[in-house]
A and B are shown apart, each in its own frame.
Chain A
Amino acid sequence: MASMPSVVPTWRTIQIPRPLQQLFDHFPLRTYDASALPERSQHLTSSDLPTLYTLLRLANFDFRILPSTNHASPTGSLPFLLPPRTSPTTSPLPIPASNLLTYALQHSSNPPTTTRDLDPDLPPRSQAYLSLITLSLRNAWLYALYLDPSHSALLQQLYTRPSSSSRGVQATLLYQLRRAAAEQIATSAGGKTVSTAAASSADAIDEEAVYNSAGDALDALASLLSESETGWAFGVERPGMFDAALFSYTHLMMQYMSGDEAADGTRALGVMVREAGNGELARHRDRMLDAAWPRWGDSKRIGREA
């Protein structure tokens, strides 16, 4: 199998005798231009995940969003960014989510901000607040979207239907997604699971605890915002990483889970966001929309006034 690239490296390290090398250098006798890439290659891929998406917007970074899948990502998680091609057949390396901010700041078309603005030094307690977002809010979001049957339609619209037109494939993917979400929640929620067995379905997760934890987290974050004079978390001048992270959950919860679907008495996450504290979170979301999506913010407001 020496013809396989994975097996040949030992051969490559062998020094080729000089006369042979000279012979090799004469070949190929003729080289044409590269073959053109297939049609699908002309349309490239990239995707969105709200926090980083918002950050890119805040950084005034010019980009396009395309649907993608976890399979396409260098790290297995979305989003990632594909830099533009520099020539028709060179392939750029993707930028995983963790390096996105650095990349965006280096390549921003109009850099009005510095790293300081987007990722300012925050007080140590910010870590505690951030974990409210990345644990409590995230678990509630995962539970609501993946395991709560009232959002099945949304889940299918966002994830399974774009993957394949086949019902069999969609059903398998849905099952895999739900299982993965349940495992995620179970592992990150630690002792909050009802059973100690590996969680593979909604049954193994204490729904009440997940939503209560999210409610507490939202109240705490609302009161954090109420302490701020600038309207941004921890009183920073311009919205940064923390605000983007908060916004990414509150916005989606308000946008997609505002209570119309939750008929069975469970509290809708969007309603919980709106009612937390004195509505600080909803106002924070509007300010973020203004800052990162000025145009969309306008249309929203007009819509609400009409």
Chain B
Amino acid sequence: MAASLGFGGSNAVDKANATATANTAQPAYTGPTQMLDEHLLTPATISSIEVHGATNTRRSLLDHVFQPVVEDSAHAGTTLGQVLEHIGVATKKLARFDIFKEEGFGVFLSEAARPESAPPSDRTELDISIRVKEKSRLVFSAGTDFGNTEGSAYTNAVARNIFGGAETLSVNASTGTRTRSAYNATFSTPINGNPDLRLAVEALRSATQKPWASHEEQLTGANLRLAWLAENSDSHALAYSTVWRQLTGLAATASPTVRADAGDSLKSSLTHTFTRDRRDNPMLPQSGYLLRTISELAGWGPLNGDVSFAKTEVEASGALPVTIPGLAAKSGVSVGGGLRLGVLYPLPSGYSLTGAAQPSRINDRFQLGGPTDVRGFKIGGLGPHDGADSVGGDVYAAGSVNALVPLPRLGPESPLRLQLFANAGRLVALNNKGKGKETGEGLAMDSATVFRGVKSAVSELTNGLPSLAAGVGLVYAHPVARFELNFSLPLVLRRGEEGRKGLQVGVGINFL
């Protein structure tokens, strides 16, 4: 019955409506729908709102959420239905602060008692009482985690609602198969009482092994991040970060390229990330699409630091369900595709646009290949290789097509799928072969050289077929991560690139 109220609220709000109708039901019973419709159209206004149970939450935070509700309901002609809708929106907003238990919400409406002397009103004045349960303010947890091609164990401490304004401090320590150690502490707070606009400051320190390029990278840094969620659920984040990177722990066989980049560098950069995720299930998309862009500006102008470049990456992927003729139910068969593009453009440091620019370092260049992007290749298997080391490239393009078919007998509801895929990629490094040779003046390139270099690297993307692999496999979509076991063969390769013939296991959250 509550659902027919039609404001698509959470369970809590639906429950509230049930309560509301129970508390205020006076008219003669004329059938549920008619009664409700009439009821929802009665003029109403809010006399008071009380929030119970938010003992550690600042009044100002609640004001930010409920002030608009009271104001919107003050207009003449506001109906009970509208009041309920506003309350529903507000409680959902409250839930997004992540400081209240989801099952603890309760909303009670009652007609305000009116003093005898007050003039008769044609509006129902409501007293609204909202019950919430705060989540525990201090939480310790430990467990295991799956990232892209990496497993790790972590311990985490979260202090919630520290100052009563939904501020969160999260301290995390983890160790993993590739990230030998990582520590970070993040303090985040909503701005202006808006759960969809958050400011976060983070300090981090980590050491990550990069066996595909024979070294370990140690990071020490901090970042300031403003993230917001648009009305249409697109998410944006703007971050400033400064990181001291140290390339160390080189293998005995490390190549000259890696040795040349060993040591210290400071990256100071601004990054914007945009995500539009309209997939039905991120681990096993059967319909919908994902669009993501990452744009980074490092070192230029006031940013300073040791590296200077503009870098942008675009990712688009989508899936379409396939209906099988003669089968009314969902077939569980789908076809999908993905495309990723990236460019790194070296910039001069300082405010100049035409000054000399340093070529990119290995820790800024892109890597391509591996079970979660271009399958059928080793991690970092594509692109320029110096000896055994994958040294990365400045421009890349990668694409995949796949078909997912449910396993016989298990059907479309099971998280298992049979996968057929083909994926290809091309990773190219900027260089000025032949030009500017050995001048003894170091590495710097003037802006025309950089432009020519990037242009020729981009055109090199389409020189010949891209490196290509195809195969079949099994996909298991766990809510936490997606697991793939594929059998694949490389069809087209460049010398030095490392394909994988046979079986490959992929674990990750973001697949091409």
With known contacts A36-B384, A38-B359, A89-B496, A4–B178 Cβ distance under 8 A: yes
The proximity string for B residues 439-474 relative to A, scoring 1 for CB distances below 8 Å and 0 otherwise, is: 000110100000001000000000011000000000
With known contacts A32-B492, A33-B494, A40-B443, A3–B431 Cβ distance under 8 A: no
The proximity string for A residues 36-67 relative to B, scoring 1 for CB distances below 8 Å and 0 otherwise, is: 11111111110000000000000000000000
The proximity string for B residues 482-493 relative to A, scoring 1 for CB distances below 8 Å and 0 otherwise, is: 000000011111
- Which of A21-29, A123-131, A201-209, A231-239 binds B? A21-29
Q: Tell me if B260 counts as interface (CB < 8 A to partner A).
A: yes
How many angstroms between the C-alpha atoms of A87 and B495 in the bound complex? 13
Q: Tell whether, in the assembled complex, residue A71 and residue B263 are in contact, meaning their CB atoms are under 8 Å apart.
A: yes
Q: Tell whether, in the assembled complex, residue B502 and residue A69 are in contact, meaning their CB atoms are under 8 Å apart.
A: no
With known contacts A1-B151, A2-B505, A166-B306, A71–B247 Cβ distance under 8 A: yes
State how many angstroms separate the Cβ of B305 from the closest Cβ of chain A. 7
State how many angstroms separate the Cβ of B392 from the closest Cβ of chain A. 7
**Interface size bucket, A side?**
35 or more
Q: Tell me if B265 counts as interface (CB < 8 A to partner A).
A: yes
- Nearest chain A residue, comparing its CB with the CB of B457: A36
How many angstroms between the C-alpha atoms of A136 and B371 in the bound complex? 56
- Nearest chain A residue, comparing its CB with the CB of B251: A74
Q: Tell whether, in the assembled complex, residue A169 and residue B266 are in contact, meaning their CB atoms are under 8 Å apart.
A: yes
Q: Tell whether, in the assembled complex, residue A165 and residue B259 are in contact, meaning their CB atoms are under 8 Å apart.
A: no
Chain A residues contacting B442 (CB-CB under 8 Å) are: 43
Within 8 A of B (CB), among A226-262: none
- Among A4, A29, A85, the most chain B Cβ lie within 10 Å of the Cβ of A4
State how many angstroms separate the Cβ of A98 from the closest Cβ of chain B. 13
Q: Tell whether, in the assembled complex, residue B489 and residue A37 are in contact, meaning their CB atoms are under 8 Å apart.
A: no
Q: Tell whether, in the assembled complex, residue B491 and residue A164 are in contact, meaning their CB atoms are under 8 Å apart.
A: no
How many angstroms between the C-alpha atoms of A150 and B251 in the bound complex? 37
Q: Tell me if A6 counts as interface (CB < 8 A to partner B).
A: yes
Q: Tell me if A213 counts as interface (CB < 8 A to partner B).
A: no
Chain A residues contacting B256 (CB-CB under 8 Å) are: 41, 44-45, 82, 85, 91-92, 94
**At the interface, is chain A mostly helix, strand, loop or mixed?**
loop
Chain B residues contacting A71 (CB-CB under 8 Å) are: 246-250, 262-264
With known contacts A38-B431, A45-B259, A89–B385 Cβ distance under 8 A: yes
Q: Tell whether, in the assembled complex, residue A37 and residue B259 are in contact, meaning their CB atoms are under 8 Å apart.
A: no
- Which of B95-103, B134-142, B278-286, B422-430 binds A? B422-430
Q: Tell whether, in the assembled complex, residue A38 and residue B384 are in contact, meaning their CB atoms are under 8 Å apart.
A: yes
With known contacts A1-B149, A3-B370, A4-B379, A34–B496 Cβ distance under 8 A: yes
Q: Tell whether, in the assembled complex, residue B260 and residue A69 are in contact, meaning their CB atoms are under 8 Å apart.
A: no
State how many angstroms separate the Cβ of B479 from the closest Cβ of chain A. 20
Q: Tell me if B388 counts as interface (CB < 8 A to partner A).
A: yes
Q: Tell whether, in the assembled complex, residue A169 and residue B431 are in contact, meaning their CB atoms are under 8 Å apart.
A: no
Within 8 A of B (CB), among A1-25: 1-6, 16, 20, 23-24
Chain A to chain B contacts (Cβ below 8 Å), 27 pairs: A1-B505, A16-B502, A27-B491, A27-B501, A30-B491, A30-B492, A34-B494, A34-B497, A35-B494, A37-B386, A38-B360, A38-B362, A38-B365, A38-B393, A40-B360, A40-B361, A41-B384, A43-B442, A68-B263, A69-B263, A82-B259, A93-B252, A165-B266, A166-B268, A166-B304, A169-B244, A169-B264
Measured CB to CB, the residues of A under 8 A from B are 1-6, 16, 20, 23-24, 27-45, 68-74, 82, 85, 89-94, 163-166, 168-169, 172-173
